[in-house]
Amino acid sequence: MSRRQTLKLLAGFKRFKEKYFSGVDSLYANSLSSGQSPKTLVIACSDSRVDPSLMASAGPGDLFVVRNVANLVPPCESAHNGLHGVSAAIEFAVKSLKVENIVILGHRQCGGIRALVEGVEDKESFIGPWVRIAKRAREKVLQENIHSDGETLCKLCEKEAIKVSLENLMTFPFVAEAVENRGLQLIGVYFDLENGSLSEYDDTTGEFKTLIEDAL
């Protein structure tokens, strides 16, 4: 990291500390230094333009966040094979923190979904196998939109992959149990960063409906 970048980060941390650590209203002194109790787990993309805490104007302690390439949830697999960072975070959020909502936050211009749609040639790439978690989204979109251009396919796939992640969440027994027994909500949200609109997946219609109208 360049010295200039480091200084920028330090200046940012100084402002953060003034806001959350100082005075009688210090969030950390009053509550967060002794534990966290976020109500929502957000699974978002690593994309620098899609920061869930910034987007929700959330403060420290508000959101439990997992970020990865293309905001994907893998299906539940044996804990004894491979390493499962996303699954571990979901387990902790649901079983220990007992979050009330899980939000899958997808977005326009997702590079991970583009890699899924276009394919990854490098056989050593970690990205190819990872994004194929949503391969059934790709297959469905390609089948149903055979004459569409690449950009449209990406856009459709960004939304379809959110549905795959919602379905995969239910393959975790502790998620299915929490949905059934304590009303855990599974929510799919799509952020169109080209026009500032936010929409939510409606499983009764299978469509995304606008929550916040286009801002531009």
| Closest separation in Å from C-beta 45 to Zn ion | 3
Among 42, 45, 161, 198, binds Zn ion (CB under 5 A): 45
Is residue 158 within the footprint of Zn ion (CB under 5 A)? Answer: no
Is residue 153 within the footprint of Zn ion (CB under 5 A)? Answer: no
How many CB atoms neighbour CB 134 within 10 A? 29
Is residue 47 within the footprint of Zn ion (CB under 5 A)? Answer: yes
- What whole-number distance in Å separates Cα of residue 70 and Cα of residue 116? 9
Is residue 189 within the footprint of Zn ion (CB under 5 A)? Answer: no
Is residue 134 within the footprint of Zn ion (CB under 5 A)? Answer: no
Residue with Cβ nearer Zn ion (65 or 94): 65
Give whole-number Cα distances, 83 to 43, 80, 86, 165, 169, in Å: 18, 8, 9, 18, 17
Residue with Cβ nearer Zn ion (74 or 112): 112
49 conformational bin, left if phi > 0, alpha if psi -120 to 50, beta if neither: alpha
| Closest separation in Å from C-beta 116 to Zn ion | 10
- What whole-number distance in Å separates Cα of residue 33 and Cα of residue 36? 8
Is residue 42 within the footprint of Zn ion (CB under 5 A)? Answer: no
**Under a CB-based contact definition with an 8 Å cutoff, are residues 186 and 164 in contact?**
no
CA angle 155/128/152 to nearest 5° reads 15
Stretch that binds Zn ion, among 14-22, 86-94, 107-115, 159-167 (CB under 5 A): 107-115
Residue with Cβ nearer Zn ion (106 or 178): 106
Is residue 154 within the footprint of Zn ion (CB under 5 A)? Answer: no
Burial class of residue 128 in the structure, from the number of CB atoms within 10 Å of its CB (0-12 exposed, 13-18 middle, 19+ buried): middle
Stretch that binds Zn ion, among 14-22, 38-46, 130-138, 185-193 (CB under 5 A): 38-46
Binding site for Zn ion (CB under 5 A): 45, 47, 110, 112
